[in-house]
């Protein structure tokens, strides 16, 4: 026993010497596991810790392989994504500048580049480098901590609202969804974005009458998450605010029939009035036109792309009439553009039309994605009856992702990365939808067995 303790201490000391940040992340993950299993016992606790341990082990293995994938003659460290390597580089440059360590002129410019790749997350990583020393692989562990914390927060919310089995099903899919797994082992801002949105959902779901301290803490958490979202990425605050607004409308509509009728009447009156206003009409037209221009930029970027506009608009259309044909959209073109944007948001990448052989690797995930969509719809419908507040919040975040991301995309890879901001909320609802169907649609015998399983988790 003493020898085992000595060996453990030696291994921990070696790991801390190589990467102090990794050790601190492991301690944070241990705290997360303890918090996740709080107030949970029996079979549910064992399954939860087993799935969490498997998800964590696979991520640590993926990160641990990175040093062996480095070509020491070309680069000092690596990541699974080029954006991840660039994020490490920029954060290290920012750290060196803050500590007075000389950097090259080009590196100085790249460190504070205000447009391409800018994110407040670079400064978070730079702070970690300052405190723990340069940690190119420790920051990947930090992203894992953020992602798993967000997944567990969402699991706790869904467990209270939808039950333990539905929450566990949603958590398992979130933890092992291939693209979400990939972002969680790279020093990218996706993990922090997920954590901020999950914090907003959990804080608003915790609001309750006459609980002033809880409500005040929830309001502060939402405000902090909104501010942080604005510094994280362009459109981060817009997605969060749109999600809150959509959730409010959905929640009011789901409370009772009279409220739903009032919302429908209000929208029926507001939309024609807004459409008749020249100022509103011009603002909407400009917003759609700007989104279409961004889509053109994505569609003309390297890699696989898809089309949302009419074919004639891809033939050298530009906003400068002296360079090419003017970029103009009539009402019909605008409507077709928006409808196609929503369709492609859910459909891309198309499994029956792969752009290249490498896209075939995404086929299993895409099939899983298609299967979860109808389950999520069932979860929304049933959720409005059982727990309208949390269902409205989850659905609101999904609506926000569609509104902000769908019309501004055109590159398949970029769409997948941006869509994954709201995919965990789809999967949470899909878990509830799957349990609902298992209990209500299958044969009576299977339904009885499902109810027994649900009861055993208590």
pLDDT digits (tens, 9 = 90+) for 33-90: 888 888 888 888 899 999 999 999 999 999 988 888 887 778 788 888 888 888 888 8
pLDDT at 68: 86
Q: What is the pTM of this model?
A: 0.87
Q: Name the domain count of the chain.
A: 1
| Bond preceding residue 349 cis, omega within 30 of 0 | yes
Contacting residues for 457 by C-beta, under 8 A, at least 6 apart: 42, 43, 44, 163, 164, 165, 168
- In angstroms, the CA 281 to CA 288 distance is 11
* Token pair recorded at residue 69: 């994938």
Contacting residues for 385 by C-beta, under 8 A, at least 6 apart: none
Which residues share a beta bridge with 305? 411
Residue 391, in any domain of the structure: no
Residue 321, in any domain of the structure: no
Residue 396 has, within 13 A of its CA and on its CB side, a CA count of 30
Residue 195, in any domain of the structure: yes
CB atoms within 10 A of CB 346: 13
Residue 248 main-chain phi, psi, to 5 deg: -65, -45
The 8-class DSSP code of residue 350 comes to P
Which pLDDT tens digit goes with each residue over 176-190? 999 899 999 988 888
SS3 411: strand
* Token pair recorded at residue 117: 């790749």
Residue 187, in any domain of the structure: yes
Residue 398, in any domain of the structure: no
pLDDT at 321: 46
- In angstroms, the CA 176 to CA 188 distance is 18
pLDDT at 198: 93
The 8-class DSSP code of residue 359 comes to G
Residue 130 lies in domain: 20-233
pLDDT at 274: 64
Residue 340, in any domain of the structure: no
Residue 2, in any domain of the structure: no
Per the CB < 8 A criterion, the answer to whether 425 and 397 are in contact is: yes
Give the DSSP H/E element, type plus range, for residue 348: none
In Å, what is the CA distance from 258 to each residue of 264, 269, 388?
10, 17, 15
- In angstroms, the CA 201 to CA 178 distance is 24
- pLDDT, averaged in runs of 10, over the chain (458 residues): 65 70 88 87 88 92 87 81 85 85 78 72 88 86 93 92 90 92 90 91 84 82 86 80 87 74 72 68 76 79 77 63 57 83 86 67 84 91 87 91 86 85 92 86 54 57
Residue 279, in any domain of the structure: no
- In angstroms, the CA 78 to CA 96 distance is 19
R_g of the chain, CA atoms, integer Å: 24
């Amino acid at each position: 026993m003493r020898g085992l303790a000595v060996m453990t201490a030696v291994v921990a000391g070696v790991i801390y010497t190589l990467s102090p940040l990794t050790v601190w992340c492991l301690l944070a993950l241990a705290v997360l596991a303890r918090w996740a299993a709080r107030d949970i016992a029996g079979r549910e606790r064992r399954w939860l810790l087993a799935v969490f341990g498997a998800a964590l082990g696979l991520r640590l293995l993926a990160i641990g392989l990175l040093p062996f994938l480095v070509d020491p003659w070309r680069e000092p460290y690596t990541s699974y994504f080029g954006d991840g390597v660039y994020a490490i580089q920029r954060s290290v440059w920012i750290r060196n500048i803050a500590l007075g360590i000389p950097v090259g002129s080009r590196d100085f410019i790249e460190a504070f580049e205000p447009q391409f790749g800018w994110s407040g997350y670079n400064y978070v990583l730079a702070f970690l480098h300052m405190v723990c020393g340069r940690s190119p692989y420790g920051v990947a562990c930090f992203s894992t901590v953020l992602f798993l914390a967000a997944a567990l927060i969402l699991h706790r919310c869904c467990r209270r609202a939808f039950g333990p089995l539905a929450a566990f099903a949603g958590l398992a899919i979130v933890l092992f969804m291939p693209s979400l797994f990939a972002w969680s082992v790279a020093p990218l801002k996706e993990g922090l974005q997920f954590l901020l949105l999950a914090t907003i959902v959990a804080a608003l779901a915790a609001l309750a009458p006459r609980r002033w301290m809880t409500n005040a803490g929830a309001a502060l958490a939402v405000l902090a998450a909104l501010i942080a979202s604005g510094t994280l990425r362009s459109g981060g605050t817009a997605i969060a605010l749109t999600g809150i607004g959509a959730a409010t409308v959905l929640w009011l509509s789901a409370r009772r029939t009279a409220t739903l009728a009032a919302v429908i009447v209000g929208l029926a009156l507001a939309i024609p009035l807004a459409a008749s206003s020249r100022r509103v009409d011009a603002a909407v037209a400009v917003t759609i036109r700007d989104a279409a221009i961004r889509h053109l930029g994505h569609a003309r970027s390297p890699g696989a792309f898809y089309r949302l506009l009419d074919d004639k608009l891809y033939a050298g259309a530009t906003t400068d009439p002296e360079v090419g044909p003017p970029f103009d959209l009539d009402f019909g073109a605008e409507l077709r553009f928006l409808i196609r944007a929503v369709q492609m948001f859910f459909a891309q990448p198309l499994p029956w039309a792969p752009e290249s052989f490498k896209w075939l690797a995404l086929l299993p995930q895409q099939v899983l994605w298609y299967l979860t969509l109808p389950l999520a719809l069932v979860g929304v419908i049933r959720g409005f009856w059982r727990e309208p507040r949390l269902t409205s919040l989850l659905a609101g975040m999904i609506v926000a992702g569609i509104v902000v991301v769908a019309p501004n995309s055109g590159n398949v890879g970029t769409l997948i990365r941006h869509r994954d901001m709201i995919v965990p909320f789809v999967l949470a609802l899909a878990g509830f939808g799957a349990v609902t169907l298992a209990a209500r649609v299958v044969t009576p015998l299977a339904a009885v067995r499902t109810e027994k399983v649900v009861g055993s988790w208590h």
